Structure 1
Amino acid sequence: MMLWPAVTLLGFLVLTALVIAMGTQSTARYEQEQRAATRAAKARHAGSESVGAVRA
């Protein structure tokens, strides 16, 4: 009698955990790419500042 509600609850919890795990991975990858892009932009900006200082 209580088998199917228990199976349903267990399946729901497993799928919820899977969605959370996938979202966590995706978010970590996105944040890593954003940090890399920010560092690259800062490096380009710092390089152009030194060139600009020489030109001015």
Structure 2
Amino acid sequence: MMFWPAVTLLGFLVLTGLVIVMGSSSTARYERERAASAPRAAQSAPEPVAVTAGTA
């Protein structure tokens, strides 16, 4: 009596895990490609700008 609900739950969990694994590997590959193609100068932080208080 509980066989098909258990199979359905197990199938759902397996498919959810598969989607998570595929998504994380795809995301990691995208990040590696993006980091390799980005220019090095664009990755550095901009220089801080000093702000002076002026009188109005």
Shared fold per TM-score greater than 0.5:
yes
Q: In the TM superposition, what is the alpha-carbon distance from 1:30 to its structure 2 partner?
A: 0.1
Q: % of aligned pairs identical? A: 71
Q: Where in structure 2 are there 5+ consecutive unaligned residues?
A: 42-56
- Rounded to whole Å, the distance in 2 between the matches of 1:6 and 1:33 is 41
Q: CA RMSD in A?
A: 1.2
**Map 1:32-43 → 2, pairs under 5 A:** 32-38=32-38, 41-42=39-40
Q: In the TM superposition, what is the alpha-carbon distance from 1:42 to its structure 2 partner?
A: 2.8
Q: Give 2:22's aligned residue.
A: 22
TM superposition outliers: structure 1 runs of 4+ over 6 Å: none
Higher helix fraction (1 or 2):
1
Q: Deviations over 1:3-56 (max 9, x none)?
A: 000000000000000000000000000000010011xx237xxxxxxxxxxxxx
Aligned residues: 41
